[in-house]
Structure 1
């Protein structure tokens, strides 16, 4: 029996985020697509039995979970130092950089390690992460350069940019993600829409007001006449640092009902909000994949986004693209371009209909099953 061991420690966190969603969806499909004669084990830090039982329930079909002797914090430090731990060998796939990256013998012992780097933010926008996270990510990327047999990235754009910072040679493989399988319209969609107070038409975005996400110029763009007075709903946290999205809106002279922070939404609420949005706007300046636009595609929602290379690659012509600021002080210009794009979608019925059709069609290109099968093929090639 051939065993693929997946590091599933990312699943023990309760904070919502793309890496948790990616790890859980991919692992489930790796289990579901296991070739004949193959099985999947999970590797996890030293968690309580209750957490282990929960993980087993969330990953149906997993052969077993291997609990390592160290708690998560200690495991992170141990693997950063290259410390060998019992139970962390064999054929390993890590949906993040958290992996036992150390010298091993792939040819004679059959050991192999594939890790995942989701973006180049630690190098390009380090201020958007904690200093500890930046140091750890860079250190683990260096370990991957020395010891990983393959490095998975979500887009060719990330592969190209990553090569500027870490020389991984020909070991990089592009395997993207897909919308969550749990992101679907619930039977009580009307009741949820009423509870959320969704207006008849609205622009939707996702994220916080950290500079990299581009929400501040978007909010300022909503204040411009080109945006046709459409309300902006924001899925995600209202506050970032000392500021808030509603505070930015107030400073831009917008009334309270023009910009609303919805906070974190469960998948059912998010599906309703995405499905009923007039347009989804994603002004982020730097992404690795851009899962939010793929989620919007799933519901045939017209999408506007920045010309970040990863977003352009993922959208593949199914969206309206807005040029990012050419320099840090060009936020007013970016706000104007975003407002103009929103105005175009709102006033041009033909464009809006075409974007909706392209969006729904593009969504069919993304499948967790396909991603998982490519992971199996990657390890077979190694």
Structure 2
């Protein structure tokens, strides 16, 4: 069997991969190991930028074969100019900034049109292939013509189409709608949860029998229980965290991650219970200024008195950061899978998470599930975890067991089974 796997989300910087990028990379590594490097090649059809970034990835991976097409010099120049104008628009003021924004808007449309019109997969690679599998980007027309009935799209979530528009950046609505609207009645689709499968089938005329549920996994090399107190202390010092207990969450500016409500709920608990020895740690982010964070989160400076931002967290520190927390709190309004919940459980960190979308499916009975819109319930759950060490211990043990259901080997086996089923029908 010869497979082309599209890794459009992977990005070019291996030190800053998370979410979809980490999933695409981990699955690609498993496919190379299990199929052999001669039977798998990689494309990136989502955008011109995705293709150029994947070129860099493949240059560093000697045994990863390319299914990328040649990108002409003039397209590269347009892309480089667009990147320069984007930087200008973000850093300058006045007419120069406006010019940068207008230039970026124009060139983005040019690059989008080029991406739609081009042949985004190498023809020779496509002729060798039996299966084409996209980890995110919609199936190109070139692939539909060359491999009718032998292409698969993985759908990770429908957040921008499910939630109210106030929780989703407008650009994401268009991107997600184009991907989901591309799904046809006779396509094959993989979703990462039953919840996402149901959401997809409600919006597209595709039978459930053509949609396979294949859950994600968390890397055992990055996410594992850390029992070494000195390692945990070293990581706390590295990210300038106070020497006291902390609750952990992810630092995301995406409105549906519900961070302002989490901060409000945490502060409510601190005030009501008169707590002086507990912090809320927001892990990740790109080291933006406090003023930018305040503006994005729509909170006041005094709201962050007991809130700490780590900035970017290196992969090798993630397990210790999770393991050192009293709990991981994840009140997201919608998740297609909820990978951070699995990462926390795999580290033995107790989880408080939303009772919505896919999260109950992934967490099972190992987490405390709450209404993400209910600040009082969220506060009460955090207080209970903070004051009941025996409950934390039981939740830690249960989370580790629950996480064992998910692994990259199991995910790969399920995907190979999908490939076999589709191939047998041709």
Structure-1-length-normalised TM-score: 0.83
Task: Identify if the C-alpha distance between structure 1 residues 121 and 309 changes in structure 2 by more than 3 Å, giving closer, same or farther.
Answer: closer
Task: Identify if the C-alpha distance between structure 1 residues 172 and 50 changes in structure 2 by more than 3 Å, giving closer, same or farther.
Answer: closer
Map Cα deviations across residues 70-105 of structure 1 (whole Å, 9 max, x no partner).
Answer: 469788656656967543633101111343256847
Shift of 1:348: 1.7
**Are residue 316 (structure 1) and residue 359 (structure 2) matched?**
no
C-alpha separation between the residues in 2 aligned to 1:324 and 1:190?
A: 31
Query: Is contact 1:33–1:373 with CA below 8 Å preserved after alignment?
Result: no
C-alpha separation between the residues in 1 aligned to 2:282 and 2:134?
A: 32
Partner of 1:348: 388
Map Cα deviations across residues 238-274 of structure 1 (whole Å, 9 max, x no partner).
Answer: 7699862699696384463x10111221211222211
Partner of 1:145: 184
Task: Identify if the C-alpha distance between structure 1 residues 139 and 9 changes in structure 2 by more than 3 Å, giving closer, same or farther.
Answer: closer
Q: Which moved more, 1:292-301 or 1:223-232?
A: 223-232
Alignment coverage as a number of residue pairs: 366
Q: Which moved more, 1:191-200 or 1:41-50?
A: 41-50
3-state SS in 2 of match to 1:202 = strand
**Are residue 365 (structure 1) and residue 405 (structure 2) matched?**
yes
Partner of 1:112: 150
Query: Is contact 1:31–1:40 with CA below 8 Å preserved after alignment?
Result: yes
Partner of 1:52: 55
Partner of 1:31: 32
Query: Is contact 1:218–1:283 with CA below 8 Å preserved after alignment?
Result: yes
Query: Is contact 1:234–1:259 with CA below 8 Å preserved after alignment?
Result: yes
Partner of 1:11: 10
Query: Is contact 2:338–2:359 with CA below 8 Å preserved after alignment?
Result: yes
Task: Identify if the C-alpha distance between structure 1 residues 66 and 141 changes in structure 2 by more than 3 Å, giving closer, same or farther.
Answer: same
C-alpha separation between the residues in 2 aligned to 1:81 and 1:25?
A: 30
C-alpha separation between the residues in 1 aligned to 2:297 and 2:11?
A: 34
C-alpha separation between the residues in 2 aligned to 1:244 and 1:290?
A: 23
Shift of 1:181: 4.4
Shift of 1:17: 3.5
User: Pairwise mapping of residues 179-328 of structure 1 onto structure 2 (< 5 A)?
Assistant: 179-184=218-223, 190-198=233-241, 199-224=243-268, 225-226=272-273, 228-229=275-276, 230-237=278-285, 244=293, 251=300, 253-254=302-303, 256=305, 258-325=306-373
Map Cα deviations across residues 293-331 of structure 1 (whole Å, 9 max, x no partner).
Answer: 111011111100011130110001100011232xxxxxx
Task: Identify if the C-alpha distance between structure 1 residues 343 and 245 changes in structure 2 by more than 3 Å, giving closer, same or farther.
Answer: farther
Structure 1 alignment gaps of length 5 or more: 326-333
Partner of 1:175: 214
Query: Is contact 1:30–1:373 with CA below 8 Å preserved after alignment?
Result: no
Give the alignment partner of residue 121 of structure 1, picking from 159, 163, 168: 159
Shift of 1:208: 2.0
Task: Identify if the C-alpha distance between structure 1 residues 335 and 253 changes in structure 2 by more than 3 Å, giving closer, same or farther.
Answer: farther
C-alpha separation between the residues in 2 aligned to 1:98 and 1:208?
A: 26
Query: Is contact 2:6–2:43 with CA below 8 Å preserved after alignment?
Result: yes
Q: Which has the higher helix share?
A: 2
C-alpha separation between the residues in 2 aligned to 1:117 and 1:205?
A: 25
Query: Is contact 2:248–2:322 with CA below 8 Å preserved after alignment?
Result: yes
Shift of 1:162: 1.8
| Cα RMSD (Å) | 3.5
Structure-2-length-normalised TM-score: 0.75
3-state SS in 2 of match to 1:92 = strand
C-alpha separation between the residues in 2 aligned to 1:380 and 1:335?
A: 47
Partner of 2:22: 21
Task: Identify if the C-alpha distance between structure 1 residues 285 and 243 changes in structure 2 by more than 3 Å, giving closer, same or farther.
Answer: farther
C-alpha separation between the residues in 2 aligned to 1:131 and 1:274?
A: 32
Query: Is contact 2:329–2:353 with CA below 8 Å preserved after alignment?
Result: yes
